[in-house]
Every structure is written in structure tokens, then in C-alpha cells.
């Protein structure tokens, strides 16, 4: 089954790490990306670079910034193939953000 790992962290969290810890985290992300169960992954630019689009009453409204003003922001996405939720959770626990104060949301992907 396919799962999306939505990786959230606080703005500036990665930059606050020591150089050694940051390099270790990047190396761990690379190991995850190289895992055969990872079918795609990407890091996102900071939330300040987001543009939100809504269509209300037939009018398109465009605003700068993320959809919601929250403490943690979506920083990246990883799509994985896992046998079940337990395996997906095991992979999610390896995401460095989960260990340094962020959170990884695991969601099954609708297969069409």
C-alpha cells in the first residue's frame, strides 16, 4: 500500500541544529530517499514562499503565504510503499524531523 509521509517542523528548526547535526540529518534523509520503498520525496521551500488559492463564488482569490498560520509547517513530502501501517510508521520514525521536534503525519494514499 502507498503512504504519504508529510513532514512538519517549526520554521528555523533545521537552521538551529549544529552543523554536524544538520549534516547527519541530511545524510539520514538521503538514506530514506535511497530506500527501495521510497517512491518519491521532496523538500519544500519555506512557508513564506507559498501562495494560497481559493475559489469563492466563482472568483479566484490568491493570497501570499501558507493556508494556515500554525506553529509547524509542511517542510517536505515522502511517498512510500509499505506492506501495512506498521511498516509505514517504522519508516516515518526514521525521518529526522520526527526526532528533532517536528512531526511526521502518515496518511494512506487513495489508489485509483
Is the distance from CB of 54 to CB of 64 less than 8 angstroms? no
Tens of pLDDT, residue by residue over 100-109, are 889 999 999 9
Mean pLDDT across the chain, nearest whole number?
91
CATH for 40: 3.30.70.1060
Query: Could you write out the DSSP letters of every residue in 53-96?
Result: EEEETTEEEEEES-SS--SSEEEEEEEEE-SSHHHHHHHHTTSH
Q: Could you tell me the residue range of the domain that residue 6 belongs to? A: 2-108
* Total number of domains constituting the chain: 1
Contact present, 7 and 102 (Cβ < 8 Å): yes
pLDDT in tens, 45-67: 988 888 989 999 999 999 887 76
Amino acid at each position: 500500500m502507498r503512504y504519504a509521509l508529510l513532514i512538519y517542523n517549526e520554521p528555523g528548526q533545521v537552521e538551529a541544529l549544529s552543523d554536524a547535526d544538520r549534516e547527519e540529518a541530511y545524510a539520514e534523509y538521503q538514506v530514506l530517499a535511497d530506500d527501495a520503498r521510497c517512491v518519491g520525496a521532496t523538500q519544500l521551500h519555506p512557508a513564506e514562499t507559498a501562495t494560497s488559492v481559493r475559489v469563492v463564488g466563482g472568483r479566484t482569490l490568491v493570497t501570499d503565504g501558507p493556508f494556515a498560520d500554525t506553529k509547524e509547517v509542511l517542510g517536505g513530502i515522502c511517498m512510500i510503499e509499505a506492506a501495512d501501517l506498521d511498516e509505514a510508521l517504522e519508516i516515518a520514525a526514521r525521518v529526522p524531523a520526527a526526532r528533532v521536534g517536528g512531526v511526521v503525519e502518515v496518511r494512506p494514499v487513495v489508489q485509483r
